[in-house]
């Protein structure tokens, strides 16, 4: 293998180095980048965006394939800006670089059973509604996304309910999960009405006039067979500050992005993100901003809520359960660190059964680019673990 630094520092030596390389290197004009050095298995599993190319860590990573890299490396030398790696690292969430030994990160999955004392759901039993609220999917639309950079699509479902006047959402990845209330016929509606509100099969296209496909044969969400493992589900509460205005006080935006990435991965089987409009753990945006000021005065996130005479967590999940039932989902794999959420989502009569809990480990703890690193988010996560019982170790690594 040619020496990385000497090759880059002396372009005129590229031709001469071919005596030591099995491949014949053509003489390229100076505006071309030199031939990429084959990447070892060690470095192929690193994110090259996170490496400084003039640091000694590069030479150490390449040490398994060339011992001379350690001997000849000059820490003060830098490679030309045109030098390109053997592959282009991903810059869009959800994409990955093909390699023989590269795989996307799959979080840990832990079997849970809320009926057992030690079933992995914590010791507290959240108060559940006596009955699930009534929900109705009003409209569904196909949304092409930027996730993965390859045109991943999802279906956005908008729900109304009997408990409040808010518009809660179900973000559905995949074509197999459908809303029963959306598909149900409505009095006096035409085929065009059904197409407009999203009660159709397949895809819309100019000139389409019927909501069913010719080969559908009356198949519905009630009798459609579900195959494979239970779908991934994330119950996510609205967080304007974390999702829209780049707040580093919490990891809500990061968790939403990660859930979407996992559900859009090839072979994932899709999944559902239930997006509930209960800002600030149920206290609203205005009270949440007051809580932020109290945090700056030295209180943690739980103490701040209590000082404002709110519960530490005022959220409820009955709507999420009812929406999942409407979507025809029974067994799920739940993306959460919150043991209370496992029991609460299952509903008063276990209408939903959580088979596995999939941990949501912060990207910064996994050494990933893009993870939130701040004093505020560190204290926030510490409080959730110590005071709210979240199942996450501060030293946990995946």
In a domain, 382, yes or no: yes
Beta carbons of 112 and 345 less than 8 angstroms apart: no
Question: 55-108, pLDDT tens digit by residue?
Answer: 444 344 444 444 444 444 444 444 444 333 333 333 333 333 333 333 455 666
Q: Is residue 332 part of a domain?
A: yes
Q: Is residue 283 part of a domain?
A: no
Decide which of 72 and 117 is more confident. 117
Q: In the annotation, is 257 catalytic?
A: no
Q: Is residue 246 part of a domain?
A: yes
- Structural domain contains residue 56: no
CATH no. for residue 254?
3.40.50.10990
Q: Is 350 a catalytic residue?
A: no
Catalytic residue, candidates 300, 313, 326, 340: 313
Cross-strand bridge partners of residue 173:
271
Q: Which helix (H) or strand (E) holds 358?
A: strand 353-358
Question: How many other β-carbons are positioned within 10 Å of the β-carbon of residue 311?
Answer: 12
- CA-wise closest residue to 225 among 172, 263, 265, 177: 177
Highest mean pLDDT out of 48-62, 67-81, 245-259, 280-294 = 280-294
pLDDT recorded at residue 250: 84
Query: Could you tell me which of 93, 372, 361, 158 has the C-alpha nearest to residue 248?
Result: 372
The confidence score (pLDDT) of residue 249 equals 87
Q: What is the pLDDT of residues 144-194, one digit of tens each?
A: 999 877 678 999 999 999 999 999 999 999 989 999 999 999 999 999 999
Q: How many domains does the chain have?
A: 1
Q: Is residue 174 part of a domain?
A: yes
CB 252 within 8 A of CB 290: no
Does residue 103 fall inside a structural domain? no
Domain interval for residue 357: 109-206+228-278+315-387
Mark 127-145 as b/e (b = at least 16 C-beta within 10 Å). ebbeebeebbbeebeeeeb
Q: Does residue 326 lie in a domain region?
A: yes
DSSP string, 136-187: EEEEEEEEE--GGGTT-EEEEEEEEESS-S--EEEEEESSS---HHHHS--T
**pLDDT tens digit sequence for 4-37:** 444 444 444 444 444 444 455 555 554 444 444 4
Q: One of 178, 197, 249, 315 is an active-site residue; which one?
A: 315
- Which DSSP string do the residues of 10-62 spell out, in sequence order? -TTHHHHGGGGSSSPPP---TTSPPPPPPPPHHHHTS-GGGS-TTSHHHHHHT
**Cα 176 to Cα 156: distance, rounded to the nearest angstrom:** 14
Cα separation, 3 vs 68, in Å, equals 7
């Amino acid at each position: 293998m040619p020496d990385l630094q000497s090759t880059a520092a002396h372009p005129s030596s590229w031709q001469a180095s071919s005596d030591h390389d099995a491949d014949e290197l053509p003489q390229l004009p100076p505006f071309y980048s030199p031939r990429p050095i084959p990447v070892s298995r060690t470095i192929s599993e690193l994110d090259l965006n996170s490496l400084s190319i003039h640091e000694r860590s590069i030479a150490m990573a390449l040490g398994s394939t060339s011992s001379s890299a350690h001997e000849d490396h000059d820490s003060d030398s830098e490679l030309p800006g045109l030098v390109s790696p053997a592959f282009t690292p991903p810059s869009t969430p959800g994409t990955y670089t093909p390699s023989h030994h590269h795989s996307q990160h799959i979080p840990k999955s832990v079997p849970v059973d809320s009926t057992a004392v030690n079933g992995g759901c914590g010791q507290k039993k959240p108060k559940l509604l006596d009955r699930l609220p009534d929900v109705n999917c009003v409209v569904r639309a196909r949304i092409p996304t930027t996730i993965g950079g390859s045109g991943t699509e999802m279906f956005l479902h908008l729900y109304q309910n009997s408990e409040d006047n808010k518009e809660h959402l179900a973000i559905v990845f995949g074509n197999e999960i459908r809303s029963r209330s959306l598909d149900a016929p409505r009095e006096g509606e035409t085929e065009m009405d059904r197409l407009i509100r999203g009660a159709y099969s397949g895809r819309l296209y100019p000139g389409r006039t019927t909501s069913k496909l010719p080969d559908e044969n009356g198949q519905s969400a009630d009798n459609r067979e579900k195959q494979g493992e239970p779908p991934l589900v994330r119950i996510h509460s609205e967080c304007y500050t974390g999702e829209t205005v780049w707040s580093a006080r919490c990891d809500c935006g990061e968790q939403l992005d990660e859930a979407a990435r996992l559900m859009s991965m090839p072979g994932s089987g899709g999944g559902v993100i239930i997006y509930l409009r209960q800002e600030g753990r149920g206290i609203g945006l205005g009270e949440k901003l007051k809580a932020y000021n109290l945090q700056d005065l030295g209180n943690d996130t739980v103490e701040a809520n209590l000082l404002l005479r709110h519960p530490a967590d005022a959220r409820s999940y009955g709507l999420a359960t009812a929406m999942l039932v409407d979507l025809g989902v029974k067994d799920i794999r739940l993306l959460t660190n919150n043991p209370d959420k496992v029991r609460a989502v299952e509903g008063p009569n276990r209408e939903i059964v959580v088979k596995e809990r999939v941990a949501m480990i912060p990207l910064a703890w996994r050494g990933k680019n893009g993870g939130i690193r701040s004093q505020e988010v560190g204290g926030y996560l510490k409080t959730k673990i110590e005071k709210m019982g979240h199942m996450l170790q501060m030293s946990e690594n995946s």
